[in-house]
A = this chain, B = another copy of it.
């Protein structure tokens, strides 16, 4: 039970990518990272590679903790610390991020460093999950069509296996989707993630100072000073309302809206970024869910088909059983005349033919009336 605590204490290999796209590989233990990124041990545990696939984005004081599938990293305002692994998506993340950071201009919108790192993680994850969904789809559709026309144990086993994969993939996609949705729903969490801005502000209020130092009225100065006291709250859940307030109250006092409007704009930026990937992952999810329903529908109809075939089989068997019964009756009748009694009946040879004809006709007639009866009882043409 103490395992959970022990794990992750040992030092592990991390990849550090700085603002300029320089890569270095470091050996860091948990404590160092906790100090470096001001993270409690609790949060680091979520990156643990032994803890499989719970996609998470956590906005913390000075870092964003990202754990998307294989990409597990801590994004700060200055660097990305990426958990080293030979996994393809980690390698791709590393190289692609460097490329993008070096060629600064290919993205038209100028996102801060932390969001460019976050976007890449989102992009690679969404693409990789969508590719996996696509692959599964490619495999399942023909299999189901095959199964619908001919059912066999091997195919059933394959469907079971693929349903397991589908279920696992759906859960992973759902988790990523929910994580993005939750983030989009909570404006204060999004505001929390403006690491670069928070850092700039805490380092010397360059932007707001520039804006306010020309003010002379006593009251306004107080506004400009008090606002940064709660930098988080100032872009919080009700940030729009607050912006409205600020604009009304402070404007009636000639205050400036620089810092808060800035922040509001940025939340829009992050929101738009998340929204675009939300559409993608949501589409992947709905693909998987419809795949699941398609399997279920196919199974329902296979069940009906099997029952239907079974009924037909039993119908034929019923016909044959009836025929067997009558053949047995016929055999019994003839056996009667095979008994070794010296009965008088045997003395009249033509009886031989009469016995055959009469019992044959009787059997035929009985069989025919069985058929009529079944048809009358409506169990026969089904």
Contact = CB atoms under 8 A, between A and B. Distances in A.
A314 B307 CA distance: 12
Interface of A: 1, 4, 34-35, 40-43, 45-46, 51, 54, 56, 58, 60, 92, 107-109, 127-128, 131, 148, 150-153, 156-157, 159-160, 163-164, 167-168, 171, 175, 188, 219, 222-223, 225-227, 229-230, 232-234, 236-238, 240-254, 257, 261, 264, 268, 272-273, 275-277, 279-280, 282-283, 286, 290, 293-294, 296-318, 320-325, 327-332, 334-347, 349, 351-353, 355-356, 374, 377-379, 381-382
B297 A164 contact: yes
B240 A227 contact: no
B339 A334 contact: yes
B222 A251 contact: yes
A110 to B, nearest CB: 11
Number of copies: 5
Given A299-B300, A334-B332, A310 B307 contact: yes
Given A1-B92, A42-B276, A317-B314, A153 B58 contact: no
Contacts of A148: 157, 160
Contact of A306 (B242, B245, B253, B307): B307
Contacts of A46: 276, 279-280
A226 B152 CA distance: 73
A30 B342 CA distance: 101
Residue of A222, A264, A339, A342 contacting most chain B CB atoms (<10 Å): A339
Contacts of A107: 40-41
A324 B151 CA distance: 28
Contact of A317 (B40, B160, B229, B318): B318
Contacts of A327: 325, 328-329, 331-332
A309 B250 CA distance: 79
Contacts of A151: 304, 308, 382
Contacts of A167: 290, 293-294, 297
Task: Tell me the interface secondary structure of chain A in the complex.
Answer: helix
A301 B299 CA distance: 8
A244 B264 CA distance: 14
Contact of A226 (B41, B251, B318): B251
Closest 9 CB pairs of A and B: A226-B251, A236-B240, A337-B339, A331-B332, A341-B352, A327-B328, A334-B335, A42-B276, A242-B244
B247 A248 contact: no
A310 B286 CA distance: 36
Given A240-B188, A304-B303, A344-B349, A229 B251 contact: yes
Contacts of A160: 148, 297-298, 301
Nearest to A220: B252
Contacts of A223: 248, 251-252
A40 B109 contact: yes
A305 to B, nearest CB: 5
Contact of A249 (B56, B252, B322): B252
A344 to B, nearest CB: 7
A35 B108 CA distance: 9
Contacts of A236: 240-241, 243-244
Given A303-B304, A305-B156, A320-B325, A257 B276 contact: no
Contact of A156 (B54, B159, B301): B301
A340 to B, nearest CB: 5
Given A237-B241, A331-B332, 20 more contacts: A1-B128, A35-B108, A41-B108, A43-B272, A45-B276, A167-B293, A226-B247, A226-B252, A242-B248, A244-B246, A299-B300, A299-B304, A303-B307, A314-B314, A327-B329, A339-B340, A341-B346, A342-B347, A344-B349, A345-B352
